[in-house]
Amino acid sequence: MVEEAPPVKARGLVKRYEEVLAVDHIDLNVRAGDVYGFLGPNGAGKTTTLRMALGLITPSEGVIELFGRDPMREGARALEGVAGFVEAPRFYPYMSARKNLDLLAALDGDGASSRIEEVLEIVELAPRAKHRVGGYSHGMRQRLGIAAALLRRPRLLILDEPATGLDPAGMRDMRLLIRRLAGEGITVLLSSHQLPEVQDLCDRVAIVDSGRVVYEGALSELRRQGGAGYRLRTTDDERALAIVRAQAGIEHAITGAHGLGFQAQESDVGPLTLALAGAGIGILALTPELATLEDLFFRLTENDHAGTPPSAGPDEGAPTTAGAPASPPAVAAATQRTVEIG
């Protein structure tokens, strides 16, 4: 049995704009079923990478494939089973949500029109389907963008900063929606600079900084590698602190209002508990506290880089428009989720 190609595979992906290196030899490995976080600060090259993935701009070097197909070689065919949006979905504001979806479904064909009611229900916009999109909130337009993507019955959903600009309730609703879609078997590639969003949703991540991947792998493994802190409360914290500081493998032991804190590998915690018991000190609570994604992110991205960090290319941060010369007509038609239609 032949193993299916992964949803996204990039090797040595580069994008240059004259003297600016926007994407610097990026490798990505998105596996089927992943909720994959593509994480990095603004201007790190995330949007440029997604545009290359969708065939909207041409790589300077390297290759990126979707289910084994290269958009630069195969055009619209490479985007079968793929949908999403880059930066923000755009719609005709003077038309209703349903009418906008009608137009997109007509471009897609393949029975997409019959799925309009279904996708509106999925994103919880059915009650507002007849309302003009110009009156929608930002969060509603984001959800309508996902509805437009779902018309294609995608196996891979690419979302670029879907929670940007949302209020707390909108962010919660967006997380719930993405989690539900992932539960239905859709692979999700989620680009974001919002750490809580990625930590809550993603099982694997790539952290990109100044156009380079500085970590790719399981989020749980990244947090494990970051080391664990521990919170300890005992029957005699003053004596316990001296024992903790004397124990091999224990670092950064401090005392505070809520007990003791220290860092250690798990294998060093067991001997500490025995030493405390041997001294007649009772343990009231011993709680591991893994490093947060925020801690690890800044640890990976705030190192000094040689020279001035490259900024994003001219396409990073600017909405893709229907007239963008980088998109061949066949590719633009197949990726209408990523282009401005209004």
DSSP 274-320: HHHHHTTPPEEEEEEEEPPHHHHHHHHHSS--SSSPPPP-TTTTS--
Do the first three CATH levels of 8-223+300-338 and 227-290 match, i.e. the same topology?
A: no
Is residue 170 very low, low, confident or very high in pLDDT (cuts 50, 70, 90)? confident
- The architecture that CATH gives domain 227-290 is 2-Layer Sandwich (3.30)
DSSP helix/strand/coil, 17 = strand
> Residue 135: pLDDT above 80?
yes
Give the pLDDT score at 76. Answer: 87
Structure tokens, 47: 């949007």
DSSP helix/strand/coil, 251 = strand
d(CA 68, CA 8): 8
> Residue 306: pLDDT above 60?
no
Choose the weakest-confidence range: 15-19, 242-246, 259-263, 283-287. 259-263
Sign for the pseudo-dihedral over CA of 5, 214, 88, 189 = positive
Q: What is the DSSP letter of 153?
A: -
> Residue 309: pLDDT above 90?
no
| Per-residue model confidence as pLDDT tens digits over 42-88 | 888 999 999 999 999 999 999 999 999 999 999 889 999 999 998 88
CATH class of 8-223+300-338: alpha beta
- Using alpha carbons, select from 233, 228, 234 the residue that is nearest to residue 250: 228
d(CA 66, CA 6): 7
Q: How far is CA 128 from CA 31, 46, 54, 276, in A?
A: 35, 32, 30, 63
Give the pLDDT score at 205. Answer: 92
Give the pLDDT score at 327. Answer: 32
> Where in the chain are the domains?
8-223+300-338, 227-290
Specify the pTM: 0.72
> Residue 292: pLDDT above 80?
no
153 vs 266, more confident = 153
- Using alpha carbons, select from 153, 160, 206, 203 the residue that is nearest to residue 181: 153
